[in-house]
Structure 1
Amino acid sequence: MKLAALIAIFACAGLSEVAAQGGTYTNFSRYYETPAQFEETSVTLSPYPLCINKPFCVTLTGNLSTAIIPGAVYQIYGRYLGRLFYSDRDDDLCASLAAAGTPCPIAIGTNTLTLCRNVKPNLPPNFPVLWYYTATNGDGGVITSQKSNSVITAKNCS
């Protein structure tokens, strides 16, 4: 099954200036201390770096301990110099997963989820941003919480 929709939101920003375009970004870690319903073994964002107003995909692999049910939402935040710089709040996770071919409920067990979307066209290029993503299940439990461990920048691509 698929759960990458969760991390797909990270990508809304862009990626490290040091990586070659067309690569992947994998430097994520959990940032909530509370137990999560999804134990990730791999989180990947591609392409790396991201391009403003172009598609990107996030793939999340791991073990889901509680089914993802309708009412699940995700949020993504970007911080620049500690200030909120970018925000997507309470987007429908099940709708995003369904658009990627994996409708809710998502069953317990080993899952690989992929979600693709466009980087927002109004995101300023070349700002070093730390990205945070969280997904909350329809039952109120935390599905996952991830953060980028290095700054991510978006760029204009032709």
Structure 2
Amino acid sequence: MTTDPTAGASTIGGDRIRFGASASRELSDSHGKTIIADAVVAKIAGIATRQINGVYDLGGGTARVVGALRDRIPGAGVDHAQGVSAEVGEKQAAIDIGIVAEYGVALHELAAGIRRNVIAAVENMTGLEVTEVDITVHDVILLDETDPGTDPDAKPRVQ
């Protein structure tokens, strides 16, 4: 494999493969068709969202309750797509994300950072064009607040 840094492409056996921001959005060719499931795009978007400082959790009330229950089951993994839904077409994707933000973070800047990271991750990994990323802030949480029901070292209010 050789890389041509000026063209944003690599060659393997003489075939040119485009990648990055200049990638071809074509997911089908004479050899076949690539179908990317909605759940795959949602998972990529969820992981990209969690990478942004200021995001405490993903999802609204119900999704977070289900996530908390799942976390208590031994061996259960993290649902990276929690709070994220995606609609995928042949060449484009639209994504909806629900978040809980940390208190003190500028929400408009947080949303812009999430959008940039999600668009870059989804477009680079799938070749789909992301047409929109809608973000709903469901809650803001103080990090120094503790919930006595989840903190094993918390003392009960009454004896």
TM-score (norm 2): 0.30
Higher helix share: 2
Higher strand share: 1
Question: Which of 1 and 2 has greater Rg?
Answer: 2
